[in-house]
Chain A
Amino acid sequence: MNRILKGMLFATTVLAPAGMAWAQETTLTIESWRNDDLPIWQEKIIPAFEAKHPDIKVTFAPMAPTEYNSAVNAKLEAGTAGDLITCRPFDLTLAMFEKGQLAPLTDLPGMENFSDVAKSAWTTDDGSTTFCVPMASVIHGFIYNKAAFEEVGVEVPKTEDEFFAVLEKFKEDGNYIPLAMGTKDQWEAATMGYYNIGPNYWKGEEGRKALIAGTEKLTDAQWVEPYATLAKWKDYLGDGFEAQTYPDSQNLFTLGRAAIYPAGSWEIAPFKSQADFEMGAFPPPVKAEGDQCYISDHNDIGIGLNAKSENAEAAKTFLTWVASPEFADLYANSAPGFFSLNTTPVVMQDELAQEFVSWRQNCETTIRPSAAIVGRGDPNLDLEMWRVSANVINGTMTPEQAGEETQKGLDSWYKPKQ
């Protein structure tokens, strides 16, 4: 099979325009779920690398985010996956490493540029082996339409009461949909909703670790309350939000029809290119003035080496470059909203991205609660949270039921270490 494939590859390369020096070049393929970033890789990142290493060609081969994991797993098992694998954080990629599909990268030159926290998302539970080069984290918050805020005469909300007062103003005004979010795709409800506002309730890392330790349960008040707040969003979403998809929400906001967009920082680049109004951002509002704020600053994306890659040396050269401050600067500035995890500080040009990053100074950061350790079982806690968050907003489930269902699913396979 492999031989036939190679034969076909050979045939196609021979048929390709003559004169190319194929013999000396190595081609690396990157598997990724960031299909939105295709132009950034093709126009900025890859040329920058190829200029330094003319003997290595790099192809960026992205696919749809929701299909990425199953597809890349199938490819890895069949031995047809690319040389470089973009890594989801925590449990998903850990499972790949444990199956021997990813090569250990602990000793890769350049790894010293990352802190332990940055590497934690792609390191074994005992902390001994790192298997992906950290690339970026994403921060959750709300992006708003500055013009709309001025028009209606509201200030950026700091507390939850202010937040709902702003929404109420927009609803009365009637010109803008207060919140651009739908529940059809389900993941928006959890990722932009629950994971976004939740850390203020369960106190970030404190709650997340307590959940893993088993001292807190998803039925506790601090885990149920965010659902109750989400349920209140219902009145401020657009007409027919039940059938509104993720691209619908993005378009509603960038076309200027909605005032506030519950966001992840990865939206910055696409929004910048599409919206012709000024945008601002604010962190999830706290419950009362002066409360400690928490934000979700999630290690989101890394890049690893396919253990079966035949171009391992070239791939390692590429990975070392990814670990360099040069890449950090290039990536953070060409894909604003993906914040570098490199210890060398990166100067970002984008104001909206700067706004997001500035929250790190005052707020405690945490990662998504369903990502690490409690996310490796079946039923998958992340998918469960998608479902119940959407249900809560749709009004087909109470916040208490949502807490109970997710806890029941977790209990069915997860036993906290005593």
Chain B
Amino acid sequence: MNQSDIAETETIVPRHPVRWHILVFLAPAFLVYTAVMILPLVETLRLSLFNVVDGTMAFVGLANFQRLFGDPRLAADFWNALWNNTIFFLIHMAVQNPIGIALAAMLSLPGLRFAAFYRSAIFVPTLLSFVIVGFIWKLILSPIWGIAPGLMDLVGLKSLFGPWLGKPESALITVSLISVWQYVGIPMMLIYAALLNIPDEVLEAAEIDGITGWGQFWKIKLPLILPSIGIISVLTFVGNFNAFDLIYTVQGALGGPDGATDILGTLLYRTFFGFQNQMGNRPMGATIATVMFLIILAGVSLYLFVIQRRIRRYQF
């Protein structure tokens, strides 16, 4: 019996029958979380099964869902929003995360000058309010007052400039890229932290074996940061399918032009709260919110139960 064992038995002996402090310490978080997250969620799910029948709320089962997917207009709006949302997500996955990883890899290179400056500069937009980001970019890209046309003129590319936010074919890509610009700092920081966690011994061993530069990144570093990339993908997925704010500030609640940037969040907003002369429809809004919840739940479950289990983790 060594000393630590003795110390352990001593602390365990005066155990209280009921450990009240656990409940007391959990209570504030539990109560707040229940009040602001769980109750509204349950209430939303419940509301999606109700509708106004003859002026009073009545249980209608899955009729709201039937209408959402059966009514040609609602269904068209919904699929359009889901499709746009998917593109929005794919652009983030294809642009934001690789750039984030690349930036992190460069920042973690030993001997890089001004690394702290770059790191902060790239992370700052993440801290800005989406309203500011949306407004700044709207101004930059404005064909009337913006600096984008002038800047492109300086390098002789004026002919390539267009009112990107106003054209159906380019609006969604433009908004996605604005969002990428704002949030690229998050994958960068997470990957940067993961890269710093790789022990020097592993890298030195690799160097002794002759693996350096790109080879080292692909063969040693990337496999070691895969779990972080997985987490980032899930965060991107959840964030994108919940997105609303940036689109709302840049393109308005209609997700114009002609619904080209309408995503699930803006569709939910218009349906639930109404817009201009369109009255809000609470049960249908709740129905869309429920479908969004299910989509996100499915995506996260897929990651947790299928992908995460296959990612190999290394213990150092």
Interface residues of A (CB under 8 A from B): 65-66, 69-71, 73-74, 88, 91-92, 95, 182-187, 238-245, 248, 252, 370, 375, 378-380, 382-383, 386-387, 390-391, 394, 396-397, 409, 412
Q: Could you list 8 examples of A-B contacts with CB < 8 Å?
A: A66-B253, A69-B277, A248-B144, A383-B254, A391-B258, A394-B166, A394-B257, A396-B168
A369 CB to nearest B CB, Å: 13
Residue B275, interface by CB 8 Å: yes
- In this complex, how many residues of chain B approach chain A with their Cβ under 8 Å: the count is 30
Residue B98, interface by CB 8 Å: no
Q: Which residues of A contact B230 (CB under 8 A)?
A: none
Closest A residue to B141 by CB, please name it. A243
Residue B313, interface by CB 8 Å: no
- Say what secondary structure dominates the interface of chain B: loop
Residue B217, interface by CB 8 Å: no
Closest A residue to B277 by CB, please name it. A382
B274 CB to nearest A CB, Å: 4
State whether A243 and B254 are in contact (beta carbons under 8 Å apart), knowing that A380-B277, A380-B278 are contacts in the complex.
no
Which B residues from 270 to 307 make CB contacts under 8 A with A?
A: 273-281
Inter-chain contact total with CB atoms closer than 8 Å: 115
Residue B125, interface by CB 8 Å: no
State whether A70 and B73 are in contact (beta carbons under 8 Å apart), knowing that A240-B166, A242-B166, A387-B254 are contacts in the complex.
no
Q: Which residues of A contact B258 (CB under 8 A)?
A: 387, 390-391, 394, 396-397
Closest A residue to B284 by CB, please name it. A378
Residue B185, interface by CB 8 Å: no
Closest B residue to A409 by CB, please name it. B73
Mark B140-177 against chain A: 1 for CB-CB distance below 8 A, else 0: 01111100000000000000001111111000000000
State whether A383 and B276 are in contact (beta carbons under 8 Å apart), knowing that A184-B257, A186-B254, A242-B257 are contacts in the complex.
yes
Closest A residue to B144 by CB, please name it. A248
B252 and A185 within 8 A (CB): yes
17 new A-B contacts at CB < 8 Å, known A70-B273, A243-B143? A70-B275, A182-B166, A184-B256, A185-B252, A186-B254, A239-B144, A243-B165, A244-B143, A248-B142, A252-B144, A370-B277, A387-B256, A387-B259, A390-B257, A391-B257, A391-B258, A396-B168
Which B residues from 221 to 260 make CB contacts under 8 A with A?
A: 252-254, 256-259
Distance, CA A387 to CA B76, complexed state (A): 15
Distance, CA A228 to CA B275, complexed state (A): 27
B167 and A242 within 8 A (CB): yes
A65 CB to nearest B CB, Å: 8
Distance, CA A73 to CA B142, complexed state (A): 34
Distance, CA A262 to CA B165, complexed state (A): 23
Partner of A383, one of B143, B166, B278, B281: B278
Q: Which residues of A contact B162 (CB under 8 A)?
A: 240
Distance, CA A354 to CA B56, complexed state (A): 49
